[in-house]
Amino acid sequence: MHNGDFRVVGTCKGCRVWPTGRMVTNSTTSPFILGFGSPTNTLASNDPTVRLKRHEGYGKLGLRVARRERLTDHTGRFTMNTIQATGVNGLSALAALPLTNASDGAALIGSLQKDEDRQAFAHGIVMTLATLGVAPVDIVTAGALRRWPVLHMITSTALMAFVLGGMGVGIHISRMYLITQKYQTPHQILGLLVIVALFLVAIMGIYGRLIVKSAGRTGNPPPAWSGVLGKAHRWVGRGMWVIMLINVGLGLQFSEANKMLIIGYAVVAAGALVLVALIRWTVHCCTKHRHEDEEEDKRAFELSQIYGSGH
């Protein structure tokens, strides 16, 4: 097919017309894209359950083939003589041609390029940073530095930016594969659940903060139900992080990442979960003891006042 190195004979069924256009069947240089997969993996692009396996090499579709003065600007361009391919006997006529150093009916302009999935890589990097970096810092900040709520607002805003950015790329990637276009895979379902939880946490946090500020201005204590809102805010946030930890692992498995990478992530994720849990438990114990000491001092002061007034 290219300088006599190899020949590809294929059959295309039901591919002349698609929702956004149709194949040009009367051109000797109709633009095409060329892709081939690994010899150990059979690709079936029309199978709705096919995994996210990419082609190992491809030929890019560039400008119109007729503008030959600009062909060299876009390597990997592939053209086909569709008149010959769709004529009498179709591709079987091409298959009967003898192997020569000159290709017949097809031409590869430029060179083949190795396929890369940069969008999926960016999605994985952003969501991993959000899960193993920003989210743990946000949870620790919310518990250990309650006296400085501005810090929690900064970390939670950064977390929202990371998650929404990563999810946006993920939604764009989902349109590229049949298996992900209906958003029915476990990885996608958990991802959408994270988005819902993210907005719930944000709404509850902002509303709870407004209640506390309003009570401070009036000099009255916050309503009793505001404590329930605060607990819901904290636990939904923690649950969201656990789902994110699981979902990044599912994403690595879904994208058929290296097994050692998946195992390494699982170890790091488990370590992060244990570390954050220990920090939060330590903060909880210290806060509890401080409150108990304050209550004990308050009772001792009240008793001294009672006995002092009696004498």
Q: Is 4 left (phi over 0), alpha (psi -120 to 50) or beta?
A: left
118-310 is classed in which CATH architecture?
A: Up-down Bundle (1.20)
Residues in the chain: 311
User: Domain limits of the chain?
Assistant: 17-114, 118-310
Average pLDDT over the chain, rounded to an integer: 75
C-alpha angle with apex 62: 60 to 66, nearest 5 degrees? 130
Q: When comparing pLDDT for 303 and 53, which is higher?
A: 53
The string of DSSP codes covering 91-118 is HHHHHTSPP-SS-SSEEEES--EE---H
**Mean pLDDT: which of 10-19, 78-87, 208-217 is highest?**
208-217
- The pLDDT value recorded for residue 252 is 94
Q: Which of 12-26, 53-67, 76-90, 139-153 has the lowest mean pLDDT?
A: 53-67
Paired residues of 109 in beta bridges: 77
Q: What is the pLDDT of residues 125-158, one digit of tens each?
A: 999 999 999 999 999 888 766 667 788 889 999 9
Amino acid, single-letter form, for residue 73? D
Q: Alpha-carbon distance 3 to 278, whole Å?
A: 65
Paired residues of 34 in beta bridges: 59
Q: Are 24 and 82 in contact (CB under 8 A)?
A: yes
pTM above 0.75, yes or no: no
Q: When comparing pLDDT for 255 and 71, which is higher?
A: 255
Q: Alpha-carbon distance 138 to 135, whole Å?
A: 5
Q: Alpha-carbon distance 127 to 175, whole Å?
A: 19
- The pLDDT value recorded for residue 285 is 78
- The pLDDT value recorded for residue 300 is 45
The string of DSSP codes covering 139-207 is HHHHHH-TT-HHHHHHHHHHHHHHHHHHHHHHHHHHTT-GGGTT--SHHHHHHHHHHHHHHHHHHHHHH
Q: Which of 5-9, 18-22, 211-215, 295-299 has the lowest mean pLDDT?
A: 295-299
Q: Is 24 left (phi over 0), alpha (psi -120 to 50) or beta?
A: beta
